[in-house]
Structures are given as C-alpha cells and as structure tokens.
Amino acid sequence: MDKPKNLISEDKMVDILTEMSLVNAARNYNKILLEQTGIKPDQYIYDKFGIDSVQFEKSNAYYTEKYDDYERIFDKVKDSLQSLKTHFDELVEEEKRVQDSINKVKREKNRPEFKKEIDSVEVDTTKVDTILTEADRINRLDSLQNNQGPLSREAN
C-alpha cells in the first residue's frame, strides 16, 4: 500500500486510538447515557483531532500493512491507557483518604472530650453560665497564668 498524502503521524495515531479506546469503554459501560448526551463518538474523535473518517481509515490501513509500526503504535496505546489507569487509581485512593479523614473528624467530634460542656463561673457574685470547649479552657488558663483575667481582654 502506498503512503497516503495526509498520513496521520504515529504519535497522533496513538492519541486517536487511545481516545477511541476510552470512548468505546464509555460506550460499553453506559451506552444509554452516552446516547443521551447526543455525542457521536466517532465524530467527536474526528473533530477533536482535526481529521475525517477517510483520513483515519487510510492511515489506519497503511499502518496495518506495516506490522512493526502498528505494533509499536498499539504498545504506546497500551502504555498510555495503563498510565491513565494508574493516575485515576491514585485519584480514587486520594479521594478515599480524604473521605476517611472526614469520617474520622466526624467520629472524634462526637467523643465526650470534644463536646461542649457547661461551666459555672462566679463573677462579682453574679453566676454566669458559659459554654466552653477544651480550647476555651486552655486559653482561659493561659490568660489567668499571665495575670490577664478573661474580662481584661474584653475591656481592650
């Protein structure tokens, strides 16, 4: 077979075949959803890469005749897909870690030592009920140790 005038480069062919693999996987995963978007998968790929179906078919046929070239292209496609899979697996793991952290904070928030409690304080013979967290108590102790009563901060 003669080399087509507008042969798609090997690197671009790798990108096109990688994208086709992804689109076909999406089509097989949820065909109805893909159809509802109104996207025509083949036309989407042609538009994305600035080619048409004739150019793709001629280039694909040319590379098919040259087995070593086609094998090299498909090895790169396979590597590209594996790289994408690894990347998405890492994203899924990161998402799980974030969700685990959120769940841990929610669980700890419900532990008794983190819950707010009512503390009675006498100020000039007037009883004042305040709601304190652990951090409030530590700040209050620090201010008392520095000879700054809680009221002196409010006066400033």
Which is more confident, 152 or 76? 76
What is the rounded average pLDDT of the residues 11-18? 97
Paired with 119 in beta bridges are 130
pTM for this one? 0.61
Average model confidence (pLDDT) across the chain? 81
Give the model's confidence band at 16: pLDDT under 50 very low, under 70 low, under 90 confident, else very high.
Answer: very high
* pLDDT attached to residue 156: 42
* pLDDT attached to residue 10: 95
26-40, 65-79, 104-118, 141-155 — which is least confidently predicted? 141-155
The residue among 46, 58, 55 whose CA lies nearest residue 15 is 46
Separation CA 116–CA 132 (nearest Å) = 6
Separation CA 153–CA 156 (nearest Å) = 5
Paired with 21 in beta bridges are none
